[in-house]
Amino acid sequence: MVEPKPIDNLQLDAAGRLRHFLSIEGLDRDLLLRIMDTAESFAAVSEQKVKKVPLLRGKTIVNLFFENSTRTRTTFELAAKRLSADVLNINIAVSATAKGESLLDTVRNLEAMHADMFVVRHEQSGAAHFIARHVAPHVSVINAGDGRHAHPTQAMLDMFTIRRLKGQFDALRVAVVGDILHSRVARSEIRALNALGAAEVRVVAPKTLLPAQVETLGVKVFRNLEEGLRDVDVIIMLRLQKERMSGALLPSEHEYFTCFGLTEQRLALAKADVIVMHPGPVNRNIEIESRVADGPHSVILQQVSHGIAVRMAILSMAMQVGDGRPGRRVNA
């Protein structure tokens, strides 16, 4: 699979509206703010007795997951159902692609069943872009994570969480800690934070888990956790991507925790009102101490809850039903 081009207007239609959601790269601050504003209006839906709005009634959304992910797939499914869409979950392990059918053949067959959107998770970078370039004009594609490249909806639910708890981004120091090299989440988070005008974005990791020329992403690099956490407002811990590692990049998990695990003692170096985030699943006492993961600074479960509202916003905007907000007319 070929890496997508750095700036790709494939995501937008001629009017600048969202058609696909493939990467944070190439999207401006105003659009990211509009996604969060739309998500804000959906957040109350989860608190209603009937947790549904009719915006995508009659639409069919296919969750096409070539990698396992209970959390991401479930929140996409809930988001689609709360928008009243019909949802189809494809079991890739027993699907035609596992029997030798090509990815495009699978997509074409699903299009013939009148699918309106594909939510794609794939182990190869660029897979969602590849599908988006080949789908019918009326079909939208959402990237739910592709290889090491991007996980844009995770980045947006994290930005939404940060904005709800911290307000504006322009005064914030944010530290992204851990396996930067293999993390699609890290790449999307960094691009989103810079687009939204964060005062400083730090990456903190051992040298073996940092990409070459990582500074070009617009970050300040720290190889010492204590220095990297000093006076930050937000800490985003990353999961060790052990399934994507090749070779001995770490001496051991115990050694990693000793040097880069987030403990209560290290947390005290950050600001008193710091928030701690993690995209999940959490490897306790490897990346983060349980007392921190479950402590008063942790907003990990809030991230999960916010994921539904943010994904509702992205699904509705990509379907171009006005701005996607509850109570608006569906342009169907």
Annotated active-site positions, please? 71-72, 99, 121, 151
Backbone angles phi, psi at 30, to 5 degrees: -60, -40
The tokens for 134 are: 């080949």
Nearest CA to 233 out of 257, 200, 191, 189 is that of: 200
Q: Alpha-carbon torsion 175, 193, 277, 288, what sign? A: negative
Name residues whose C-beta falls within 8 Å of residue 251's C-beta, 6 or more positions apart in sequence: none
What is the distance of C-alpha 99 from the center of its chain?
30
Q: Alpha-carbon torsion 1, 236, 81, 69, what sign? A: positive
